[in-house]
Amino acid sequence: MNSFSLKGIDSRLVSKIMNTKYVFEEDIEYLAKIEEFHGEENTLTYATNQEYTQKAVEIGYKFIFVKPENVLEVKGVNFLETDNPRESFVKLVNYLNSNKHYESIESSNGKNTKFGKNVEISENVQIGNNVEIGNNVVIYENVIIEDNVKIGNFCVLGSKGYDVSLLEGELVHSGVHGGLYIGKNCIIRNFVNIDSSVWGQNTTISQNVSIDSNVLIGHDVNLSENVSVRGGSVISGFSKIGKNTTIGVKTVITQRSEIGENCLTTAGSIISKKYPDNSKIISLAPKVQKL
């Protein structure tokens, strides 16, 4: 499954959650923050001023929480008026997560799967054939693990991406739970954490990817085929890594960065922009100063 759309989010339900009368014909199918639009139809966002409202319309959002004074005369867009667009958005997200108003995959377990001790697997997880799972592993919902995958000890797969907001004095998760896809023949070593998507899509680990120990992979990351991630690295949300690329030891890749195909990052590199195919990204050498 490539995405996990919302279920039954019509004007009556939104009106009930918000305690405000809203009328619109089509159901809301996805949510996202303005800068995180994923191209899906019938997506809801919020805008805190008129500039962001105009930007949301141009990007392609069909539903927008806005202040009354920021409503635009635009056909085909549903403006949901509220005094606090951000708070209304977070309130809706919190309700949808609490009541699981999103699609889920059906659970399945392939042949010749080996489980270590203290493995916790949520509902709605699909595990392929010849998969090996180590000790003290936690796998959350909407995770797909294809054939011949090896997972080490103390791993967490499919955890909610770190996107939190304050709602009525309490910190709550502010993204709708998506999924995690792990392709065939991957090797994931010990103490690895991989987050699920925060807007109903998939974090994607393509086939033949190797991930060394002590690696953190954020939500909505896409690792293409034959990528190798060395130990201690951090790959932040929405980043993309091309085919046949090696991520050096303790590389830090900041949010929304992109590395092309056949690239190499040296140990300790900090990546914060887009790099084309066949790039070698070298970390700065330390400077020595006299005491």
pLDDT per position as a tens digit, 27-81 = 999 999 998 888 888 999 999 999 999 999 999 999 999 999 999 999 999 999 9
Mean pLDDT of 221-232: 98
Domain 11-98 has CATH 1.10.3470: no
Range 43-52 burial, b when 16+ CB lie within 10 A, else e? bbbbbeeeeb
Instruction: Provide the CB-side half-sphere exposure for 19 (13 A, CA).
Output: 2
- Which pTM was predicted? 0.92
- Rounded-to-integer distance, Cα 157 and Cα 145, Å: 10
Consecutive H or E run containing 159: strand 156-159
Task: Look at residue 191 in the predicted model and tell me its pLDDT.
Answer: 98
Six token digits for residue 17: 């959650």
The answer, yes or no, to whether residue 144 has pLDDT greater than 70, is yes
Write down the mean pLDDT value for the chain: 93
The answer, yes or no, to whether residue 243 has pLDDT greater than 70, is yes
Domain 11-98 and domain 108-281, same fold? Reply is: no
**In the chain, domain spans:** 11-98, 108-281
Judge contact between 213 and 191, C-beta under 8 A: yes
Task: Look at residue 235 in the predicted model and tell me its pLDDT.
Answer: 98
pLDDT level of residue 117 (50, 70, 90 thresholds): very high
Task: Look at residue 177 in the predicted model and tell me its pLDDT.
Answer: 73
User: 245: burial class by Cβ within 10 Å (0-12, 13-18, 19+)?
Assistant: buried
Mean pLDDT of 17-34: 94
State which CATH number among 1.20.58.100, 1.10.1040.10, 3.40.190.10, 2.160.10.10 fits the domain covering 108-281.
Answer: 2.160.10.10
The answer, yes or no, to whether residue 223 has pLDDT greater than 90, is yes
